[in-house]
Structure 1
Amino acid sequence: MWKLALIFALSFLPIQPVSIIAGDMPSLLEEAPPYAKWGRVAMQATKEKYPSAAIVDYLHIGREIKNDTVTEKFKLWLRGKEKEFGVYINIQFEEKTDKIIEITFEETDR
């Protein structure tokens, strides 16, 4: 009986339609950050270098610009069969052409 009373009481609550406008959701519609492309490159290169490890965390550390080259810096955390470890990845590329010059890896336990 109490369920019927609850349903009856709730039926008098006003119902307001919900409208979602693109301007209300900036986080879903924003462009990807400039380093996103290089983050994908870092993850792909890491998968190739450590094929038996899973990437469990991703961090963009920053960007370093020197003359005509840019270095995007990342830290990925990997989980292998026997251990977990971090890998610092630096991707150096030509600023104007995006041509990769060098990708370096440095393992860390932190």
Structure 2
Amino acid sequence: MANMIRTPLIYMILVAFMGFAAPSAVHAEPSYAKYGRVAMQEAANQYPDADIIDYKYEGRFAAAGSNSEERFRLWLRGAGSEFGVRVRVIVTADTGDVRDVQLEEIRP
């Protein structure tokens, strides 16, 4: 009889503990997310018959003047082949405005 009571009690304690230990559902968007959307949209415009199947943020780099470069590598699949595209989003460092987007195809 004591074993029957103990099992549901342990289960309830575990469920309660897991509820407190669960990560928060609210996450801040990374600073580069806005530019990642720009990169994916430009790639989709340039390669309308291909699907973007992978995405990697390569980082922020210094660019000419007061600009910075947000660099992404996208992997696309289309027309029976897969290939990479490096996308450079040139941004005004102080305002965050997009100045230019450059795409470079990378074939394996």
Q: Output the TM-score relative to the length of structure 1.
A: 0.78
Q: Which structure dedicates a bigger proportion of its chain to helix?
A: 2
Within 1, Cα distance between the matches of 2:83 and 2:4? 56
**Cα root mean square deviation, aligned:** 2.3
5+ residue gaps, structure 2, are: none
State the match for 1:101 in structure 2.
Answer: 99
Within 1, Cα distance between the matches of 2:96 and 2:22? 34
| Post-superposition offset of 1:11 | 5.5
Local SS of the residue matching 2:35: helix
1:38 maps onto 2:35 in alignment: yes
1:21-100 equivalences in 2 (<5 Å): 21=20, 24-26=22-24, 28-66=25-63, 67-100=65-98
Question: How many equivalent pairs are there?
Answer: 100
Q: Percent identity?
A: 34
Structure 1 runs of 4+ aligned residues shifted over 3 Å read none
Deviations 1:76-109 (A, max 9, x none): 0000023110000000011122222211111112
Deviations 1:12-40 (A, max 9, x none): 5223153434x7414x4220111111111
5+ residue gaps, structure 1, are: 1-9
Within 1, Cα distance between the matches of 2:93 and 2:22? 35
Q: Output the TM-score relative to the length of structure 2.
A: 0.79
State the match for 2:12 in structure 1.
Answer: 16
